[in-house]
Structure 1
Amino acid sequence: MEYDPTLPWYRRLHWQVLSAMILGLGVGWAFGLPAANAIGWIGELFMKLLRMIIVPLVLTSIVSGVASVGGGRAIGRLFGKTMGYYVLSSMLAALTGLLMVNLIRPGQNADMGAAAQQEVPELSTPDSAVDLILDIVPNNFFAAASAGDMLAIIFFCIVFGAAITGLPEKPRVVVTDIFNAFFQAMMALTSGIIKFLPIGVFALITKMVGETGFDRFAALAKYFATIGSGLTIHLFITMPLLLIVLGRIKPLVHFANLREPLLTAFSTSSSGATLPVTIKTLREKVGVSNKVSSFVLPMGATVNMDGTAIFECAGALFIAQVLGVDLTIGQQAIVVLTALLASIGAAAVPSAGVVVIFIVLNAIGLGDNPEAITIVGAMLAIDRPLDMYRTAVNVFSDSCGAAIIARSEGEEGVDTEVRH
């Protein structure tokens, strides 16, 4: 869509969403739990609408995108670039978390007794790389789709799209056209749901502030600052440098084009729920083709968690500092590597990283420590705003990867201007 300078500011979606966030903060702070109970269901309804379209959108997007890529060699090249970028960005994120926790040392003299605690929920994660590989291949695609198992869905869609490229011309064109048509229909449905984004954001922020308030942050202020500073460095320094060096893209243009997905990610705390907004924005504003965006973004929402890598690395070292455990350079290297791998296995749902942190703690022998479990409970009590921020970082990293890979594939219209 071309930029219309005559469009009033209040008609632009990003200003509507930002205004909804500010209004939600005010209402939640002023009226507390009653407002959360009265308005929160609207936010839950909006989240259900977003989740409703994830599986059909990913299915049609990936199949049509892979079918348009071509043969196996082209798919292999695209897969290699995608995974190479994800490993690089996640490793840089984990190292940033390591740096900040060693500079600030938030665990020294931290008063965990004064910190509110919350029960740590259960979340199943693969126990090994072999289990992860086995989980990727579904026994039943429809069961995987019903359960929202994104890795299994992505795997099936990629191999199904690749199979379409091997068909004779006539059936290949017919099947590809069908999936392209379904994809266009899903994009139209996505556009309709996004129109209600400001209302959903207002309800979600009101519910969050009304339920948690701001009283819990004092005891964990240094921890909060450590995670927040690591996320800020990665979002505003590391990722822009990758855009410049790898993609020859102006970071300010990319930030401007990503306003709606970033605000949506911050409000929903779920990169999975934000995926429909991200796909729509990458195609219409950033200018990435469906061939690239359909391959990179769904996989990124599942396995590329830069913000989670920062949190898991810094969080594990924070717990070690609180317990008085002095980790060697070798042990900290294990934390970085484990945080990188654990972030890949983190579910694209709110606060999943807090649970997955036990994988990192197990790697340094603190997973069964009862005091460590108590500290994680305190961390979870103030995790929602941090989770909102790291979800925005996760989504921005996915979008940067799609833009960089699109440029490497010869697409010239990527982030050439700010598109409204």
Structure 2
Amino acid sequence: MEYDPSLPWYRRLHWQVLAAMGLGAATGAIFGAPAAEALGWIGDLFMKLLRMIIVPLVLTSIVSGVASVGGGKAIGRLFSKTMAYYVVSSFLAAMTGLLMVNLIRPGRNADMGAAAQSEIPEINTPDSPTELLLDIVPNNFIEAAGAGDMLAIIFFCIVFGAAITTLPEKPRTIVTDIFNSFFQAMMALTSGIIKFLPIGVFALIVAMVGETGFDRFAALAKYFATIGSGLTIHLFITLPLLLFVVGRIKPLVHFANMREPLLTAFSTSSSGATLPVTIKTLREKVGVSNKVSSFVLPMGATVNMDGTAIFECAGALFITQVLGIDLSIGQQAIVVLTALLASIGAAAVPSAGVVVIFIVLNAIGLGSNPEAIMIVGAMLAIDRPLDMYRTAVNVFSDSCGAAIIARSEGEEGVDTEVRH
């Protein structure tokens, strides 16, 4: 949607989404479960529309982007920068979680009996780095695409795009033009779906508030505040510092250009579902080239989970505090390292971090502790708003990485102004 300077403020998408969130929260709070049941299907339909375009968008975006990068050295350089940013940002996130849980100590005297328990969903995660590496290479790309296995899809697209760069000029140009054309078609489809973003957000918020309510938060208020403060510090201090110091980018400009993806991430609780909006915004508003955005963003939505790293580190230590276990500095270092690695294996779907936290608990010998499992169930009961917030942090971290890497690649139009 092109920007029209004469367009009134209430016709602009980010204001419409904010209004939809407020109206949805009020509707869910007033009418409760009946409203959630009556309107929830609209949110589900919107989520299905977003998920419908993820695989073809990632496929065409990565292949066309990698094909435009050039030879193997250029791809290797881009990959090295991307992974370096992911490791640094996730480590800083985990350390923030560690700091806040030790300062606030939310597990001390926590009344877990008053917290509602929820059934813990099953999500398969790799048990070791070797298994993660083997999972990256698909046995069948079509099967991986059908299952939405993003790591396998990304791997295939990168090596396929690299293979295109080795072709003679004529077939290379033909194949690249075909994928570029498909990518433009997918971006047009994405733009059409995003026009319905306020309606989808309204329905999703109604369902969340109508089903969850606000009565479960009292027993876990300090835990909620601990995770929330950690996410806030990372979102408004750590990541802006990385933007300013490393990328020489004005954080306020980047925040302004990233309004729609942040609101979408908060509403959907899914980095994967937000990916189409993020890709579109990075290209059209932030000013990152397809070469960089197509490489950094799909991988980031899968492996760069800063908000999840904060949650897993602080959540695991919260559980030990509730159980009356004091961890040494060395044991806390193991928690940080495991949280960093476990966040890579967290699926880009709602509340996946609650399940992946068992990887961190296993590292300190609490993975099968029945009391620890009970506490995780109580944490899940109030996890939805926290999951919404940490998803926004995850998406913003991906966008910061793409902007910083684009600047390092010599792209000069990145966040030079607020673009509507």
Q: 1:11 Cα shift?
A: 1.1
Contact 1:262 1:395 in 2 (8 A): yes
Contact 1:21 1:202 in 2 (8 A): yes
Residue number in structure 2 paired with 1:344: 344
* Partner Cα distance (2:46, 2:10) in 1: 21
* Partner Cα distance (1:4, 1:191) in 2: 16
Residue number in structure 1 paired with 2:155: 155
Q: Which runs of 5+ in 1 are unaligned?
A: none
Contact 1:2 1:419 in 2 (8 A): no
* Partner Cα distance (2:32, 2:304) in 1: 35
Residue number in structure 1 paired with 2:217: 217
Residue number in structure 1 paired with 2:184: 184
Q: 1:4 Cα shift?
A: 3.9
1:263 is the counterpart of 2:263: yes
* Partner Cα distance (2:30, 2:2) in 1: 40
Q: 1:354 Cα shift?
A: 0.1
Normalising by structure 1, we get a TM-score of 0.99
Q: 1:286 Cα shift?
A: 0.2
Q: 1:7 Cα shift?
A: 1.4
Residue number in structure 2 paired with 1:168: 168
Specify the SS of the correspondent of 2:167.
coil
Residue number in structure 2 paired with 1:409: 409
* Partner Cα distance (1:48, 1:6) in 2: 34
Q: Structure 1: which 4+ aligned runs deviate by more than 6 Å?
A: none
Residue number in structure 2 paired with 1:110: 110
Specify the SS of the correspondent of 1:127.
coil
Residue number in structure 2 paired with 1:292: 292
The one-letter amino acid of 1:24's match is G
Contact 1:254 1:286 in 2 (8 A): yes
Contact 1:43 1:203 in 2 (8 A): yes
Q: Deviations over 1:197-216 (max 9, x none)?
A: 00000000000000000000
Residue number in structure 2 paired with 1:39: 39
Specify the SS of the correspondent of 1:216.
coil
* Partner Cα distance (2:193, 2:399) in 1: 21
The one-letter amino acid of 2:269's match is S
Q: 1:5 Cα shift?
A: 3.2
* Partner Cα distance (1:121, 1:39) in 2: 24
Residue number in structure 2 paired with 1:327: 327
Specify the SS of the correspondent of 1:413.
coil
Specify the SS of the correspondent of 1:167.
coil
Question: For 1:20-35, what aligned pairs fall within 5 Å after superposition?
Answer: 20-35=20-35
Residue number in structure 2 paired with 1:142: 142
Specify the SS of the correspondent of 1:215.
coil
Question: For 1:190-339, what aligned pairs fall within 5 Å after superposition?
Answer: 190-339=190-339
- RMSD between superposed Cα atoms in Å: 0.7
Q: Deviations over 1:233-256 (max 9, x none)?
A: 000000000000110000000000
1:373 is the counterpart of 2:373: yes
Q: Deviations over 1:244-270 (max 9, x none)?
A: 011000000000000000000000000
The one-letter amino acid of 1:281's match is T
Q: Which runs of 5+ in 2 are unaligned?
A: none
Q: 1:3 Cα shift?
A: 5.3
The one-letter amino acid of 1:287's match is G
* Percent sequence identity over aligned pairs: 89
Contact 1:312 1:353 in 2 (8 A): yes
Q: Deviations over 1:319-342 (max 9, x none)?
A: 000000100000000000000000
The one-letter amino acid of 1:384's match is R
* Partner Cα distance (2:353, 2:153) in 1: 22
Residue number in structure 2 paired with 1:15: 15
User: Number of residues paired by the alignment?
Assistant: 420
